[in-house]
Structure 1
Amino acid sequence: MQRVHIATYLTSDSGSEGTNPGELTAEALRELYAYPMGAPQPWVRANFVCSIDGAVSVGGVSGTLGTPADKRVFDALREAADVVVVGAGTVRAENYGGVQIGAEGRNRRVASGMSAVPPIAVVSARAHLDPGARLFTDTEVAPIVITSSAADPVRVAALAEAGAHVIQTHGREISGAALLASMEELGLRRILCEGGPTLFGQLTAEGLVDELCLTTAPVLVGGNAGRIATSAQAATVSMRPAHVLADTDGTVLTRWVRLPRP
């Protein structure tokens, strides 16, 4: 990947002898995506991939839009996070399992005072999850399920029996504020939201998104796929580009950070 400072200029990092001078090292990539130090509240970072024409999925799943560069950033973002937050619909559509971190990444996390592997936290107001799904059977860390007080007690009990740490919020729905409060109570302040569009749209509408990492895959899709954020009400959140990366296959990776509130 190469660092892009403005749309038409690519500037390279200095590489060591015998390497591509434009290639970002793994360490440099981790530094680019490090969470800010000393944030006064949980920092909400979202990560999405879309096509050039804005499709968020192909055939109902986003994985088909992934590229090698996107996978590198995806792994770096997960390594940096305290928790990966996902909506129940995305968990079902993408057949989520637990987060996987390699040995070196685990060592870096533990050395910095983090757990070796971050948990997946699933938002499901009705606890509509399959206790036999990969989320519960293919994971090293127990998933967290954030549900509402209106969820079916039988479903809630089944998820707890499957090993989930179940948190029930007050009311029939789960607000973004309640979600973040639940995470902060567990000491999970570096939050990575991987979707879906409804959860991201809700967090955006509530003004809770601090950062968006967006990969544009070098393909056109067409069809009727949705966008990365959907919500009942529109909200304008001013952002600034923190950096732009490009890979040789045409993948473009941007990181946008919210401007300070007036």
Structure 2
Amino acid sequence: MKPHVACLMMSSIDGRLHPSRYTDSPDGTRKEWSGLYERLHGEMAADAWLVGRVTMAEMSKAGPHAPADGVAAIRPVHVAAKADSYAVAADRGGKLHFDKGDVGGDHVIVLLGADVSDEHLAELAGDGVSYVVADTAQIDLAAALDTLSAHFGIRRLLLEGGGGINGSMLAAGLVDELHVLVAPALDGGDGIQGIVSHGAGGLAGTVKLSFLSATPMEHGVVHLSYDVRSDRDAS
């Protein structure tokens, strides 16, 4: 059974996800807005959080390195550790590197495509990182979630973007809730990715959102909550 998935994002009023680009506001600062996001992240009490490769690369600055001697590449699942909280990254091509097995105290699990090399798997295992290798070159997100539940005991997961992984999870019908903290700011840049992205076709005809609540927070931020259902389930 897959974990319950809640997508949690912070956005400008025009739907963009990089606070470094936001306009200023007399109601608060980027630091204060990010603090509200982190507070809600903690209050939602999930077992794990999931991001895409680009987002995780901003947190782990390690480069490629040879695996430790004697480390084997195990497929399809390597459990380096069991933990109270997990940081999960989708990295189909095996481009992420780590120098330890956690990010901010949360044990790392990497979701990988089938064509990832044994050398990369051994590198991850040598660094104390857990991983799940898909049956195909593309990651089957539904199967990956089932594996996270079965092998790591994850029951509640926060999906925290980039837009690409958010869009893929929504399109696959794997998201149960959507929470957006809207900051009193604008981005306005051309060609800048929003909190959800799913190619030229977008998400029309794939999901239905049901409004749950709109909660004013400090510093001009509004917390919007929605129930999410796939169009197949709602029809």
Both proteins in one fold, TM over 0.5: yes
Secondary structure, aligned partner of 2:39: helix
Do the aligned residues in 2 keep the contact of 1:67 with 1:251 (CA within 8 Å)? no
- RMSD between superposed Cα atoms in Å: 2.6
In the alignment, which residue of structure 2 is the partner of 1:194?
Answer: 160
Query: 1:162 and 2:162 equivalent?
Result: no
Give, in whole Å, the separation in 2 of the partners of 1:251 and 1:261.
31
In the alignment, which residue of structure 2 is the partner of 1:57?
Answer: 18
How far is 1:137 from its partner?
5.7
Do the aligned residues in 2 keep the contact of 1:144 with 1:166 (CA within 8 Å)? yes
Do the aligned residues in 2 keep the contact of 1:46 with 1:194 (CA within 8 Å)? yes
Distance 1:220 1:95, change over 3 A: farther
1:189-221 per-position Cα deviation (integer Å, ceiling 9, x unaligned) = 211111111111101111111111101011122
In the alignment, which residue of structure 1 is the partner of 2:202?
Answer: 234
How far is 1:261 from its partner?
2.5
Query: 1:207 and 2:173 equivalent?
Result: yes
Give, in whole Å, the separation in 2 of the partners of 1:234 and 1:46.
17
In the alignment, which residue of structure 2 is the partner of 1:69?
Answer: 36
Query: 1:152 and 2:117 equivalent?
Result: yes
Secondary structure, aligned partner of 1:142: strand
Do the aligned residues in 1 keep the contact of 2:60 with 2:103 (CA within 8 Å)? no
Secondary structure, aligned partner of 2:168: helix
Query: 1:243 and 2:210 equivalent?
Result: no
Give, in whole Å, the separation in 2 of the partners of 1:76 and 1:95.
25
In the alignment, which residue of structure 1 is the partner of 2:228?
Answer: 258
1:27-71 per-position Cα deviation (integer Å, ceiling 9, x unaligned) = xxxxxxxxxxxxx7521111111111222114589x957344333
Q: TM-score normalized by structure 1? A: 0.68
| 1:1-262 superposed matches below 5 A | 41-59=2-20, 64=30, 66-77=33-44, 80-95=45-60, 117-132=84-99, 136=101, 138-186=103-151, 187-224=153-190, 225-232=192-199, 233-235=201-203, 236=205, 237-259=207-229, 261-262=234-235
Distance 1:138 1:191, change over 3 A: closer
In the comparison of the two structures, how many residue pairs are matched?
200
Do the aligned residues in 1 keep the contact of 2:8 with 2:160 (CA within 8 Å)? yes
Q: Which consecutive residues of structure 1, in runs of 5 or more, have no partner in the other structure? A: 1-39, 97-114
Letter aligned with residue 49 of structure 2 = V
Q: TM-score normalized by structure 2? A: 0.75
Q: Which consecutive residues of structure 2, in runs of 5 or more, have no partner in the other structure? A: 23-28, 62-81
Give, in whole Å, the separation in 2 of the partners of 1:54 and 1:227.
5
How far is 1:139 from its partner?
4.4
Do the aligned residues in 1 keep the contact of 2:102 with 2:108 (CA within 8 Å)? no
